[in-house]
Amino acid sequence: MESAITRAVVHVIANMHHNFREDLTIDDIAQAAGFSRFHLTREFTHLIGVSPRRFLRAIRFEEAKRLLSDSRLNIAEISHTVGYSSVGTFSSCFKSCTGITPSAYRLLRSTAPLAAGEDPHRDAGAPTAPTTLHGHVQAPAGDQSGVVFVGLFPAPFPQGHPVRCTVLPRPGAFVLDNVPTGKWYVLARSVTQRTGEGRQVRHTPTVGGFGPITASADHAPEPVVLRLYRVNLATLRLCSTAQQGLHPAPAGS
């Protein structure tokens, strides 16, 4: 049984996805949800792991990254498209969020499309711990989950490309090789399978997460267990960006 505040948070997330291009304020969002901004901010941060403002910013940057990769719009047009009225703000925030400037990001994507496992955030000279992460994905009871995407992210939500990822034909054991040094979150999502005739097999999508885990050259992370749970469509939008980054790749790439 979902609480009122949980439903409100789900509503807020859906609202953010629909209106991120507009000048949304926490007061507007809270008022729409029927709670004070104080209470909504507290509960949102508790449930999601990041504040509403940071979450909204992440949505905007996901759209910005898509436009930088797929469109010919200049930086100013993209900054306005995703809700920033100042190119300067957009540029500086993009750099603080991703580690590179918007133009550098576009150049990177145009000259060498990212393969799964490549991380534009990582300093090319930074040491990479030869660490392997082992884990197991568990489907909820009675669920016939199909293909499962498993990704390693720097945040508790799937922002940007995964640092490492793999694809499983069904819930079960997985291995992520060459895990870089740092603190990471393991996020998973199952997707629908197709029948032989190309028709969708209908079942409830599931997601799961674990973390943070710490990886270093002298500290291999413990094996993790990801329990998938069923989500409604509004919550699922949280994970929509994961699939953009989780290109099918050999396990452990």
Which of 32, 47, 104, 175 is close enough to bind DNA by CB under 7 A? 104
Q: Given the complex with DNA, which of 5 and 186 has the nearer CB atom?
A: 5
Q: Given the complex with DNA, which of 87 and 251 has the nearer CB atom?
A: 87
What residues does 207 pair with on adjacent strands?
Answer: 189, 229
Dihedral over Cα of 53, 54, 55, 61: its sign: positive
Q: Given the complex with DNA, which of 94 and 149 has the nearer CB atom?
A: 94
Q: How far apart are CA 25 and CA 235, in angstroms?
A: 21
Closest contact distance (angstroms) between CB of 188 and DNA is: 26
DSSP 8-state class, residue 53: H
Quick one: how many helices (H) and strands (E) in the chain? Answer: 9, 8
> What's the angle, vertex CA 242, arms to CA 239 and CA 246, rounded to 5?
155
Closest contact distance (angstroms) between CB of 67 and DNA is: 12
Query: What kind and span of H or E run contains 46?
Result: helix 37-48
Which of 71, 103, 128, 243 is close enough to bind DNA by CB under 7 A? 103
Segment interacting with DNA (CB under 7 A) among 45-53, 152-160, 161-169, 193-201: 45-53
Does position 7 interact with DNA (CB under 7 A)? The reply is no
| Of residues 26, 55, 48, 54, the one with CA closest to residue 38 | 26
Closest contact distance (angstroms) between CB of 72 and DNA is: 10
Could you say which residues in the range 12-41 bind DNA, by CB under 7 A?
Answer: 23, 25-27, 35-39, 41
Could you say which residues in the range 53-92 bind DNA, by CB under 7 A?
Answer: 53-54, 57, 74-76, 84-89, 91-92
Q: How far apart are CA 229 and CA 250, in angstroms?
A: 25
What residues does 210 pair with on adjacent strands?
Answer: 186
Closest contact distance (angstroms) between CB of 199 and DNA is: 43
Cβ(215)–Cβ(181) under 8 Å?
Answer: yes
Q: Given the complex with DNA, which of 2 and 27 has the nearer CB atom?
A: 27
Helix (H, G, I), strand (E, B) or coil at 62: helix
Amino acid identity, position 79 = S
Q: Given the complex with DNA, which of 16 and 168 has the nearer CB atom?
A: 16
Contacts with DNA: how many residues (CB under 7 A)? 37
Which of 19, 69, 101, 132 is close enough to bind DNA by CB under 7 A? 101
What residues does 227 pair with on adjacent strands?
Answer: 138
The residue ranges that bind DNA (CB under 7 A) are: 4-5, 23, 25-27, 35-39, 41-42, 45, 51-54, 57, 74-76, 84-89, 91-93, 95-96, 101-104
